[in-house]
Amino acid sequence: MAATLIIGGTGYIGKKILEASVKAGHPTFALVRESTASDPVKGKLIEIFKNLGVNVLYGDLQDHESLIKAIKQVDVVISTVSRGQIPEQAKIIAAVKEAGNVKRFLPSEFGNDVDRSQNVVEPAKSAYADKIKIRRAIEAEGIQYTYVSCNCFAGYFLPTLAQIGAPAPPREKVTIFGDGNAGGIIKF
């Protein structure tokens, strides 16, 4: 079984991937910021991970040495960092390249296939541009990779009618992105 490092394991998608890795029998490591451990909610989540057998490593994307140290212990690195940290994955790429032992890297990609998406409007357009830069950087470094494009998470966007950052469905105003005339496809 491949030893797997999850970066961003306490987040929305990361905790699900981390749990799946453990259930699949992979030796699983989670890179966690020390400040995250002191958060009341995420601190409890880290304890749950430890009880599942996850090897919790303290480090940070801003600390190159902690990234190298964590990456040298695994075969696979899965990044589940949030949208705001997508460009920061360049630091993971540099650490993977320097460590030289990783057999596969999965960047935080979970969404639409950015290389095949056309006519994208803001705010998604900027997010896609960041993901495309990361893809090209991985490829330029010759790192073995897998891109996971699983489309939109309805459970994430639907409760707020795709109003990013809203805590509940809006009652007064809904923002329609683009010119409001974009087509859509619903598959059942």
Report residue 106 as tokens.
Answer: 């999965």
- Sign (positive or negative) of CA dihedral 35, 41, 45, 51: positive
Report residue 57 as tokens.
Answer: 């490593």
Please state the φ and ψ torsions of residue 186, each to the nearest 5 degrees. -115, 125
**Angle at CA of residue 64, ends 49 and 42, nearest 5°:** 25
131 is a catalytic site residue = yes
- Cα gap 183→115, rounded to integer Å: 19
- Cβ-contact 115, 135 below 8 angstroms: yes
Question: Exactly one of 131, 133, 173, 187 is catalytic; which is it?
Answer: 131
Query: Where does 8-132 show beta strands of DSSP type E?
Result: 28-32, 55-58, 76-79, 104-106
Could you give the residue numbers annotated as active site?
Answer: 131
